[in-house]
Structure 1
């Protein structure tokens, strides 16, 4: 039992069943409003909390008052004190998810295709990056010079076209474009090794 157990129990003993129901209903309404659209992913999912988020936070709210872990301050009604506990717990759950350890468990999907095309067309932020970017373009264009298919593909990439659009230009299936892309990469790598 918490250090506020005795004081909380004195106030709890004076509550009627109706007052408990009213407090729980207010807390439930508050939670539905507070967690609206936030239980689908992140800190407030049933997977993360181990049960329905509303049930979880309601239980935390009244258990901390009953056990005396939190002081039921005289200036607050039961519902208000429980909402303060619930909001604090919600903030704690969000902070847990933001920790570096939690971030290390995040799985981020990277589409290899988008990654390939985005690497060919990065955003230029400063002068040093711009110079490096321009050097890469010169190397790529020198490496593929004379190969009309690769030159055509490269122009499409520079225009921001995606795999499907480039495949349509060549009148082939997107899967067949992979062979062209492999040839492109090999030529650039070989040219880079010679230079």
Structure 2
């Protein structure tokens, strides 16, 4: 038996319109621009709909994270090549405006409001997951070792891009991946 009343979430087309506009605002103006009133003005979607589903900037960011999966590279059959392919994808993601700007917005938002910290962690962990899968495919089974290996490759990239405003250092990331492969005895 179904209950009468409003559906649990917005219609798919409404959600797409609002979240696309939210991403554009986020990239142009930062997380503070993600208010229901502002999204209503930009999209024309009823304020009540926006307030009901995304009452704060935090809800917009959480929804954007939920719809932004980071697809892994196509497996080649060679785990070492697959690791390097994941490193390339991560470098591309950090170089491209949406991911880097989204991360910067999350960092900025979490410095002003600790409730955003869990969103920042979730987004970074989602970014790391394809790399973790590639490391597991190399035969590394220990969770701590997988995490340490992933962070060895990713940490310098994140520091460079987010904290030092540098371009993505793809060569450095590949050297870190090669060192990782050498450390576990895999082919580089």
Shorter-chain-normalised TM-score: which range? under 0.3
TM-score by length of 1: 0.24
TM-score by length of 2: 0.25
Which is greater in Rg? 1
